[in-house]
Amino acid sequence: MRMPAISCSPAALVGANLLFLVLAGHRLNGQSRTITGHVVDELLVNRPQIHIQTAGKVKLGETDGSGRFEIRIPKEVHQLIFLGLMAETAVINLPDSCNTLEVIMLNSGTYDFTSPRKVDRLRLKNFNQLPQLYYQAAQKQLFQHGQPCFSREFIPHRKELEEIAKQTSITRRQLYKRFKALAVGDTIKVPYSPEWRTDGTDRTTLHLYSAYGGRNNFDCVIEGVITAKNTRRKGYNVVYKVTADNRCNYPSLAYNNQPIVPGTVLEYNMKYFKILPRTK
């Protein structure tokens, strides 16, 4: 038995399509929400180009020139990460009722020659200034509220810093062994990073590479013969004379405003800067 054909008028089809779109839109809106906000730094200055992402590192957006943003997030997302240049990462725990975020980015400090334990202690002291900063932001009418609607975590760096310090110590011992093994008359190769016309002239300015980086391919390598060694100021210093044999195809080389030509004498601290394996 054949089923009777079902016919629909054009008006009925349009109505059905509209109903489908409304229901689909309602479903999507129920699965996500809009978050708006304003981001400043600890000096209460607007912070543009602050990146916002989920805990899973999915980028959601970034702040505009006035430090403001608008993003849509899945309803199940309850943690946001705010990252920016020269700023401490901010980890925000977001309740369902919090849709307007007022965020203060703390400046990332420089902690040279400071123990990992002390670094975290100083960072925590700065982190604990946030309530006072929020009060000041509200007083200046930068923020609508004197306290945020979200909670924020302090993330210790001690373990990571201790691991870095451990690896640095191992590398430094290896550098000292290499320094001790070098002798006057040995040929060394020193890698440089070249930059052309950065000083406003037609010279190529050379910059040293850190001894603690992992890079092995270089655009510019200068060879020289060691003429002296010393440990002044606790350094692993080698004095070398540039030879004619170098691999640096850039015009008018200069280091510390000194032209680099065959016969130029340079002093180089292996404790901090990279040197390539020696040759005899």
pLDDT in tens, 84-106: 999 999 999 999 999 999 999 99
Q: Within this chain, do residues 213 and 135 fall inside the same structural domain, yes or no? A: no
Position 17 in a domain: no
Of residues 198 and 226, more confidence is placed in: 226
For residues 216-220, average pLDDT: 86
Q: Within this chain, do residues 210 and 130 fall inside the same structural domain, yes or no? A: no
Q: Within this chain, do residues 206 and 258 fall inside the same structural domain, yes or no? A: yes
d(CA 159, CA 59): 27
Position 1 in a domain: no
Q: Within this chain, do residues 257 and 189 fall inside the same structural domain, yes or no? A: yes
At residue 14, the pLDDT reads 45
Position 167 in a domain: no
Count the neighbouring beta carbons within 10 Å of the beta carbon of residue 103.
24
At residue 245, the pLDDT reads 66
Q: How many domains does the chain have?
A: 2
Evaluate if residue 2 carries a pLDDT over 80: no
d(CA 257, CA 254): 6
Q: Within this chain, do residues 200 and 269 fall inside the same structural domain, yes or no? A: yes
175: phi then psi, degrees, rounded to nearest 5: -65, -40
Q: Within this chain, do residues 120 and 231 fall inside the same structural domain, yes or no? A: no
CA distances from 262 to 191, 223, 246, 259 (A): 16, 10, 9, 10
Q: Within this chain, do residues 144 and 37 fall inside the same structural domain, yes or no? A: yes
- List the structure tokens of 99: 């849709």
Q: Within this chain, do residues 135 and 58 fall inside the same structural domain, yes or no? A: yes
- What is the pTM for the complete model shown? 0.61
d(CA 52, CA 64): 12
Q: Within this chain, do residues 193 and 115 fall inside the same structural domain, yes or no? A: no
**CATH code of the domain in which 40 resides:** 2.60.40.1120
Share of the chain above pLDDT 90, in %: 62
Residue 165 pLDDT class (50, 70, 90 cuts): confident
Q: Angle at which helices 158-181 and 116-127 pack, to 10 degrees?
A: 140
Q: Within this chain, do residues 37 and 145 fall inside the same structural domain, yes or no? A: yes
For residues 220-246, average pLDDT: 91
Residues forming beta bridges with residue 191, ordered by sequence position: 221
The parent domain of residue 208 ranges over 183-279
Evaluate if residue 225 carries a pLDDT over 60: yes
pLDDT in tens, 25-56: 444 445 899 999 999 999 999 999 999 999 98
Position 10 in a domain: no
